[in-house]
Amino acid sequence: MASEHRAADYAWDVGEIDTDEMILNMGPQHPATHGVLRIELRTDGEVVKAARPHIGYLHRCFEKHAENVDYPGVIPYTDRMDYVASMGNSLGYALAVEKLMGIEVSPYVQIIRVIVAELQRIASHCVAVGTYGMDIGAFTPFLHLLRDREKILDLFEWTCGARLLYNYNWVGGVSHDLPEGFPRACRDFLREFDAITFPELMELLIGNKIFVKRTANIGVCPVPLAVSFDLTGPNLRGSGVPRDLRKDAPYCGYQNYDFAVCLGKGDYGPTGSCFDRNLVRAREMAESSKILHQAVEALEKTEKTDVHEKVPKRVKPAAGEIYFRTEAPRGQLGYYIVADGTGVNPYRVKVKSPCFTAMSVFHILARGMMIADIIALIGSLDIVLGEIDR
């Protein structure tokens, strides 16, 4: 499965370009690049010959900070990596450290974690699909989806006090128990989401012929390419590969829930196009809603335990290392934690970021596209620069 790396794709000098070609810079400040990302394009007229993304504008030395704070103190830092979906980040880290220390949380806490993670998945996909529509030119679905995201953030604010960066999933539990009346509020939100927001999204954006025509034939990522560049999450499922860590390597009680893995089927064009990836994200919102209904029911039936009961006074794991992966909204988020057994700070925390690997396939998919489609391609990979740069 050799991929077609060509030096001319991403290592060129100005002196090498032909007289017809032009180097165009989509600079770090650009309304459509989902963060501070610089893309250098070598184009022949309107068609892109080669693309070179430059990252690192948002690098904040997460892994170095993690060596200097204690294990619970790393959690606010993990929140800030993928700031659009921070419950997923802290969940992955907390599960990793718990596995390292051999802590098992109660089923009640597991259900809370699943509820919060799935709500965050819906919120994250709202941003992804909404901003994608906005890049394509449809301004209205973005605002409708953000309205629903605000409702989810209201639920989170009610639970733990913060709207975007929560510090919620702790090693051994969660920071606050769900407040009284949370199941009712959550069901209220889901009712409106299922009945109105989701069908309207499908009608207004996903089903629209212009949207389909813009996205269904570009950015086609065939399965060998996707696998060799380690695409995960909706990007991989958009190409038709049924890999979902919640089903393949369940954690946190996901095996108890009944949901389907959404795949891109190439309804309007080749499988693995931008449209397929986006469709997978939209459908995953409906699947998350299904999981949430089941989880809220299970929550009401499960015996309540103290959410702080398994939280250790001092998190001091014995010497060891662990790599733990979870299915974040953007793909497979992995934490590699090395504990040296002395002191309360981790020795090393390395994060495998799903957006970083998604970005690595960009220069191959961008070849042969038109400039207007580059923006559609970036949006379909759903990158958040905070996670790429950490």
Number of Cβ within 10 Å of residue 48's Cβ equals 22
**Nearest alpha-carbon partner for 329 in 366, 273, 282, 274:** 282
What the block records as the tokens of 370 is: 């038109």
What the block records as the tokens of 157 is: 């604010």
What the block records as the tokens of 172 is: 């051994």
Q: Would the CA dihedral through 150, 155, 158, 164 be positive or negative?
A: negative
Amino acid, single-letter form, for residue 328: A
CB of 259 to other proteins, least distance (A): 27
Sheet arrangement for strand 331-339: 320-328, 331-339, 348-352
C-beta of 8 vs 344, nearer to other proteins = 344
CB of 244 to other proteins, least distance (A): 29
C-beta of 75 vs 84, nearer to other proteins = 75
CB of 179 to other proteins, least distance (A): 8
Q: Which residues bind other proteins (CB under 8 A)?
A: 24, 26, 31-32, 46, 65, 69-70, 72-77, 80, 133-140, 143-144, 147, 150, 157-162, 165, 167, 175-176, 179, 188, 192, 200, 203-205, 207-211, 213-214, 370-375
CB of 296 to other proteins, least distance (A): 18
Q: What one-character DSSP code corresponds to residue 16?
A: G
CA distances from 33 to 88, 214, 369 (A): 23, 18, 17
**Nearest alpha-carbon partner for 367 in 214, 227, 219, 215:** 219
CB of 330 to other proteins, least distance (A): 21
Q: Is 96 helix (H, G, I), strand (E, B) or coil?
A: helix
CB of 78 to other proteins, least distance (A): 11
Number of Cβ within 10 Å of residue 138's Cβ equals 17
Q: Is 127 helix (H, G, I), strand (E, B) or coil?
A: helix
In contact, 226 and 239? CB cutoff 8 Å: yes
C-beta of 85 vs 374, nearer to other proteins = 374
C-beta of 75 vs 364, nearer to other proteins = 75
C-beta of 71 vs 259, nearer to other proteins = 71
In contact, 333 and 88? CB cutoff 8 Å: yes
C-beta of 180 vs 303, nearer to other proteins = 180
Triad 178, 198, 292: Cα angle to 5°: 30
C-beta of 71 vs 229, nearer to other proteins = 71
CB of 241 to other proteins, least distance (A): 28
In contact, 22 and 43? CB cutoff 8 Å: yes
In contact, 175 and 116? CB cutoff 8 Å: no
CB of 224 to other proteins, least distance (A): 28
C-beta of 188 vs 306, nearer to other proteins = 188
Residues linked to residue 170 through DSSP beta bridges, in sequence order:
173
C-beta of 209 vs 301, nearer to other proteins = 209
C-beta of 162 vs 249, nearer to other proteins = 162
CB of 134 to other proteins, least distance (A): 7
CB of 255 to other proteins, least distance (A): 31
- Our separate counts of H helices and E strands in the chain read 17, 8
